[in-house]
Amino acid sequence: MFTHQKKILLLFALLFFTVSVACSTSSIPFIGGEPEAEAAPTVNPADLEIMIAEAAATKVAQTLEAIPTNTATSIPTETPVPSPTPIPPTSTPTEVDYPNTGSTFEENDDGVMVYTDFVGAYTVNLPAKWLAMRPGEEEYTEALTLLEASVPEIEASLQAIESFDPDTFRLVALDTREGHYNGGFVSNINLVLSEETDASLEEFFAASVLGLPESLPGVLIISSDITATSSGVPVAFIASERDIVTDTGQDVRLYQKQALFMVKNRSLIVSFTSTVDFKDQILEDFDMMVDGFERLN
């Protein structure tokens, strides 16, 4: 059972990172282009690959050991006691009929932009002052007309988003605030939804940790864990770093933090990418967004 699921999960992980590399520029890395140069020459690639592989293998082994094994349930032999006559409810709960396709992106009464995805059946609040958009929707078209869209780094990011498949790349948010282009790089948050799967969060997490170094040579996994949001929604985190060369020829070390959810028999990856030097100034925006994640009824 798990072998079959593992193959599916590895396919999801490799598909995600392959699409990311194919669809974007270095302005949206990991959901971004391949680096134009090798990693920093002070790092021995062979040693780095061994270190990453050992770390990934250890984490996968620990995760798989933690997955509970189904045990047979004994059937009682004694005569069952007749069930009491059920008491009809005084009122019938009203089921919410959500559409099974599409999404909404609107401002609530508190002035917070809320993204609701009916395909994955979840909702998140967007961080303030980030430029958020759904690929192919009206807010993307409006973003192209903004004054900040003339900034080369932002322009390159918006051009990359144009080619994103909206069925997969559900939402993209760019930190377009003045002074936040560290090293010519635009920090970003992306929501990527997979096709349907019967995998558990533990299995998807294990396959992702294992597949990440293979999908992105030179990536260094610095932490990984399965936990829960403050409201009790299970979530897995993977944090990593990677060296790239930007379109302008600058060497940049990137930091990426991914939050993995299982939603309506699909996997959802919410990723935050920034430079290592700048991430601490805005990482809280991502953490608050993820912690406020909610499933629809």
pLDDT at 194: 93
Q: Binning pLDDT at 50, 70 and 90, where does residue 147 land?
A: very high
pLDDT tens-digit map of 208-217: 999 999 888 9
pLDDT beyond 70 at 31: no
Q: Which residue has the tokens 């597949």?
A: 211
User: Which range among 73-77, 111-115, 154-158, 194-198 shows the weakest confidence by mean pLDDT?
Assistant: 73-77
pLDDT beyond 70 at 225: yes
pLDDT at 103: 96
Q: Which two tokens stand for residue 289?
A: 């967004």
pLDDT beyond 80 at 233: yes
Can you identify the CATH homologous superfamily of domain 2-64+113-295? Mog1/PsbP, alpha/beta/alpha sandwich (3.40.1000.10)
Q: What is the DSSP string of 126-143?
A: PPTT-EEE-TTSHHHHHH
Q: Are 221 and 236 in contact (CB under 8 A)?
A: no
Q: Binning pLDDT at 50, 70 and 90, where does residue 290 land?
A: very high
d(CA 176, CA 186): 7
Q: Binning pLDDT at 50, 70 and 90, where does residue 182 land?
A: low
Angle between helices 2-23 and 201-215 in degrees, nearest 10: 50
Q: Are 43 and 50 in contact (CB under 8 A)?
A: no
pTM: 0.71
pLDDT beyond 70 at 185: yes
User: Which range among 239-243, 246-250, 264-268, 293-297 shows the weakest confidence by mean pLDDT?
Assistant: 246-250
pLDDT at 296: 94
Q: What is the DSSP string of the chain?
A: -HHHHHHHHHHHHHHHHHHHHHH--TTS-SSSPPPSSPSPTTS-HHHHHHHHHHHHHHHHHHHHHHSPPP-PPPPP-SPPPPPPPPPPPSSPPPPP---SS-EEEEE-TTS-EEEEETTTTEEEEPPTT-EEE-TTSHHHHHHTTSGGGGSHHHHHHHHHHTTS-TTTEEEEEE---TT-EETTEE-EEEEEEEEE----HHHHHHHHHHHHHHHSTT-EEEEEEEEE-TT--EEEEEEEEEEEE-TTS-EEEEEEEEEEEEETTEEEEEEEEEETTTGGGTHHHHHHHHHT-EE--
pLDDT at 100: 47
Q: What is the percent of the chain where pLDDT is above 70?
A: 65
d(CA 269, CA 24): 17
pLDDT at 180: 87
Distances from the Cα of 82 to the Cα of 26, 76, 77, 90, 138, angstroms: 67, 15, 15, 24, 60
pLDDT tens-digit map of 245-265: 887 788 999 999 999 999 998
Mean pLDDT of 60-88: 42
Pairing between β-strand 188-196 and β-strand 169-174 as defined by DSSP bridges: antiparallel
Q: What is the percent of the chain where pLDDT is above 90?
A: 56
d(CA 286, CA 229): 13
d(CA 278, CA 151): 19
pLDDT tens-digit map of 33-60: 443 444 443 433 334 334 444 444 444 4
Minimal CA–CA distance to 241: which of 224, 270, 218, 266? 218
pLDDT at 184: 76
pLDDT at 128: 92
pLDDT at 57: 44
Q: Are 30 and 242 in contact (CB under 8 A)?
A: yes
Pairing between β-strand 169-174 and β-strand 113-117 as defined by DSSP bridges: unpaired
Q: Which residue has the higher pLDDT, 281 or 27?
A: 281
Average per-residue pLDDT for the chain: 76
Q: Binning pLDDT at 50, 70 and 90, where does residue 97 land?
A: low
d(CA 275, CA 72): 50
